[in-house]
Amino acid sequence: MRDSFNILLLPGDGIGPEVVEAARAVMDVAAEHFGVELSYEERKIGGTAIREEGEPISDETLERAKASDAILLGAVGHPDFDRGPVRPESGLLKLRKSLNAFANLRPVTVVPALLETSTLKKEVVEGVDMLIVRELTGGAYFGEKVEGEEEASDLTVYTREEIERVARVAFEAAEGRKGRVTSVDKANVMATSRLWRSVVDDVAGEYPGVRVDHILVDAAAMFLIRDPKRFDVILTENLFGDILSDEASMLPGSMGMLPSASLGEPGTPGLFEPVHGSAPDIAEQGTANPYATILSAAMMFRHALGRPDIAGGIERGVSVALEAGFRTPDLGGEKSTEEVTRAVVKWTAAGEGVA
């Protein structure tokens, strides 16, 4: 196993710098505990980059991202740019496309310590453990756009190759889980969804040990609230995956708990970021929930750096901190970002029971 890595940090906007700083503190203590050396480079993205560099992400930052072992991102977005010609979010889309990070993994797990924070009944969310696999570089987000005062359009395009490669990620993940893939589409009205369904069925033939079923996106949204435990791996396209994963983030009680990994072909750097947004309304107040970014760092060690031992150590630190009652306001607690971070650092460094 390698014992030295170069990490690119992209704190971004709003609470992004606060949660990335928290994750870095945890990564540092985990690396020290396991005898690993981490080197960091920090660059701009989003609104911060527009203000200081004139664009949401520079070509130099894109090159540094490609040269890194992995990228940890905070959040992008600020209302100052909502009506401007260039939006902060375009920097994130450009980064994903540049890395060819086509598969977004978003695990949704309801831990016992947070059963009471969900707005759903305990018996509905207890035991929820799913993985949402979202196609990330195609669909309406990247299609040709027409924008005007009287008419606008976003072209949705998918190719067989794009669907095949993300489907294989989902099926391979299911092989290590409960062996079930639920493919979500809108095949009753959309041509791209009918292609999606056909290709997923073709790929399913390569994985005889995995069951596959298809469900329309509106029904999937309903079942996420009514019976979320029915899902193991959810596979879906870019737009649907964005919406459904944000909905699913409410199962454990807060979007501040969900990490994500955006992965390309083997050997390329992955992009790791919390699911939540930049939340400029609470920036610099010391109340931001850092758990999702810390867990994104754990996913980074597992999926990009080949160090599941370090990932397990960080995840244990998070679990113990939650069990000990370290919760930010979004989780119904009163702990600050700094207090939560110190707790995770403490129990990550302890190293007891590390996988």
Q: Which helix (H) or strand (E) holds 8?
A: strand 4-12
Active-site entry in 69, 141, 232, 330: 141
Q: What is the distance between the alpha carbons of residues 207 and 177, in angstroms, rounded to a whole number?
A: 13
Q: Is 227 a catalytic residue?
A: no
Asked whether the beta carbons of 136 and 101 are under 8 A apart, the reply is yes
Q: Which amino acid is at 250?
A: M
Q: Which amino acid is at 24?
A: R
Active-site entry in 28, 129, 246, 309: 246
Q: Is 335 a catalytic residue?
A: no
Asked whether the beta carbons of 122 and 114 are under 8 A apart, the reply is no
Q: What would the DSSP string read from start to end of 72-139? A: EEEE---GGGTTSSS-THHHHHHHHHHHT--EEEEEEE--GGGGGGSSS-HHHHTT-EEEEEEE-SSS
Q: What would the DSSP string read from start to end of 184-213? A: EE-TTT-HHHHHHHHHHHHHHTT-TTSEEE
Active-site entry in 186, 291, 330, 335: 186
Active-site entry in 242, 291, 330, 335: 242
Candidates 89, 128, 90, 130; CA nearest to 111 is 128
Active-site entry in 3, 80, 218, 227: 218
Q: Is 232 a catalytic residue?
A: no
Residue found by looking up tokens 């309304």 in the block: 281
For the chain, helix (H) and strand (E) counts, in that order, are 12, 12
Q: What is the distance between the alpha carbons of residues 142 and 189, in angstroms, rounded to a whole number?
A: 20
Q: Is 213 a catalytic residue?
A: no
Q: What is the distance between the alpha carbons of residues 41 and 190, in angstroms, rounded to a whole number?
A: 43
> In terms of residues, how long is the chain?
355
Residues classed as catalytic? 141, 186, 218, 242, 246
